[in-house]
Every structure is written in structure tokens, then in C-alpha cells.
Amino acid sequence: MNIVTNIEKNERTTRMVIGAILIVGAILGFPRFFAILFGILLVVEGYLGWCAIPYTMEKLGLNKKSDGGTPPPGV
């Protein structure tokens, strides 16, 4: 099977980290508060257009610098 990727490396890593956090939260039986807090975090990141995971990867030298994307609304 030949699968062509259509998601950037930063986005793939971000999705894997978010998925891992959700899986661990479910396995450990975190309460509803955890899911609500995590959901709020994702909504805020989506609104701002900025995520800490690629930023952290860049600071740790695990990723080359991206173009930065578009600035958040109001900037």
C-alpha cells in the first residue's frame, strides 16, 4: 500500500502528542475536568494559531524552524 502523506511533520508530531495525552488520560481514568481543560487548551491554540509543541521541538533542536504561519487575530 502506497500512502502519500499530506500533513506536515510539525502537525503530525502535534497530533501524536495530543493523541498520546488523551490515551494516557483515558487509561488513568482522569476525571471530566481533565478533558474539559484539555479541550479549552486546544480551542485557544486553534484561535491563536499557535501551539507550544512545535515551539518546544524547535527549542530542543528536534525540528527545523518553520515559517511561523500567519499571525494570530488582532496582531
Count of CA atoms in the C-beta half-sphere (13 A) of 54: 17
Tens of pLDDT, residue by residue over 22-70, are: 888 888 888 888 888 888 888 887 788 787 877 888 888 876 655 555 5
Classified as helix, coil or strand, 21 is helix
- Answer yes or no: is 69 within a domain: no
Domain extent for 55: 9-59
User: How many folded domains does the chain comprise?
Assistant: 1
**Looking at this protein, which amino acid is placed at residue 68?**
G
Which DSSP letter does residue 72 get? Answer: P
Phi, psi of 46, rounded to the nearest 5 degrees: -65, -40
- Answer yes or no: is 43 within a domain: yes
Predicted local confidence at residue 68, as pLDDT: 53
pTM for the model stands at: 0.55
- Answer yes or no: is 14 within a domain: yes
- Answer yes or no: is 64 within a domain: no
**At 10, is the pLDDT very low, low, confident or very high (cuts 50, 70, 90)?**
confident
> For residue 42, what are the contacts with CB-CB under 8 A and spacing of at least 6?
18
Which DSSP letter does residue 8 get? Answer: -
- Answer yes or no: is 45 within a domain: yes
Give the mean model confidence (pLDDT) for residues 1-6. 72
**At 72, is the pLDDT very low, low, confident or very high (cuts 50, 70, 90)?**
low
Cα 37 from Cα 7, distance rounded (Å): 26
